[in-house]
Amino acid sequence: MIAAGDTAQRRLAAGSLNGPVAAGDGVIASAGPRQDVLLRWLDDLDRAVPVPVGIAIDGLFVRDDGRYLVAWSAREPEAVIVDVARSRVAGGVRTDDIVDEAASAGSAIFLTHRTSPTVIAIDLAPLSSREATFAERRVRLPLIAGANREHSRSRVAYRRRWPAC
């Protein structure tokens, strides 16, 4: 069941969302049956717009503003950036390893990996120009002493420093 703002609740037909699903401001993305992302907007849930991405989709992340999404495969080290507003692929990213998760801040999307101690930072700001491409940068994360290389969540430790009283 989905509620869009102050409108009445609506239901998607059974089987409408198969596989990975992600949502951002006004848009729902799901994996399609033929290596495509299906885009649905909350004001027209019955219409799905397919965007071919060329990879089997095992993970999706939609930026909070709903403007861009990233799709990735657990079978190959690759991710695809989709421009949701234009319903087209903005570009692909070869990754160091299988993508574990994605997050965003500002105009960037960040990809972490299962076993590689790196983050790929993808700056989407240049995409505001129709012909421009995004910029990507790989950042190596230092391993903390005793960290297990097989678990990406153990690579970065955050410790809050409380002020002395």
The residues near 112 (Cβ < 8 Å, ≥ 6 apart) are 99, 100, 101, 102, 103, 119, 152
pLDDT in tens, 92-144: 999 878 999 999 998 899 999 888 888 999 988 776 666 667 778 888 888 66
Has residue 45 been placed in a domain? yes
| DSSP structural state of residue 10 | B
Q: When comparing pLDDT for 103 and 156, which is higher?
A: 103
Q: Measure the CA–CA gap between 153 and 3, rounded to whole angstroms.
A: 33
Compute the average pLDDT of residues 65-88. 93
CB–CB of 70/82 below 8 Å?
yes
Residue 160 binned pLDDT confidence (cut-offs 50, 70, 90): very low
Has residue 147 been placed in a domain? yes
The predicted pLDDT at position 61 comes to: 96
Bridge partners of 82? Answer: 69, 89
Q: When comparing pLDDT for 163 and 102, which is higher?
A: 102
Q: When comparing pLDDT for 131 and 150, which is higher?
A: 131
Has residue 129 been placed in a domain? yes
The predicted pLDDT at position 140 comes to: 85
The predicted pLDDT at position 7 comes to: 59
| DSSP structural state of residue 160 | P
CATH of the domain at 64: 2.130.10.10
CB–CB of 34/19 below 8 Å?
no
Q: Measure the CA–CA gap between 70 and 138, rounded to whole angstroms.
A: 16
The predicted pLDDT at position 147 comes to: 54
The predicted pLDDT at position 162 comes to: 47
Has residue 75 been placed in a domain? yes
Indicate if the pLDDT at residue 26 is higher than 80: yes
The residues near 37 (Cβ < 8 Å, ≥ 6 apart) are 29, 30, 31, 50, 51, 53, 57, 60, 69, 71, 82
- Structural domain boundaries enclosing 32: 21-154
- If one counts the domains in the chain, the total is 1
The predicted pLDDT at position 36 comes to: 95
Q: Measure the CA–CA gap between 103 and 146, rounded to whole angstroms.
A: 26
Indicate if the pLDDT at residue 27 is higher than 60: yes
Has residue 163 been placed in a domain? no
